[in-house]
Amino acid sequence: MPIYEYACPSCKMKFELLRPLSQASEGVSCPHCHNNAKRVLSIFSSFTTDESGLTTHIAGNNPCASCNALSCDSCNL
């Protein structure tokens, strides 16, 4: 099971939970104050998360398809 990091907006507590992937974006209650805590993305992640919780690889939105870089001299992007 993957481990996810959560942060509580009420008391600023951060904690980690082992959860099935299918429950990764579901709300959890803070173990300290029992308010709703939100998942925070790992610093290792190269993914962005939109408001619906879907992950999109940054390269998927890359207009510079020929060289697979976000910007480069050859494509002038």
Which stretches of the chain bind Zn ion, using CB under 5 A? 8, 10-11, 13, 30, 32-33
Least separation in angstroms between CB 60 and Zn ion: 34
Of 14 and 57, the one with the shorter C-beta distance to Zn ion is: 14
Write down the residue that tokens 């992937």 correspond to: 21
Distance CA 44, CA 19 (A): 18
In this structure, what token pair is assigned to residue 24? 């990764």
Of 15 and 24, the one with the shorter C-beta distance to Zn ion is: 15
Strand order across the beta sheet in which 36-40 lies = 14-18, 3-7, 36-40, 28-29
DSSP 22: G
Least separation in angstroms between CB 72 and Zn ion: 44
Of 12 and 57, the one with the shorter C-beta distance to Zn ion is: 12
Least separation in angstroms between CB 16 and Zn ion: 14
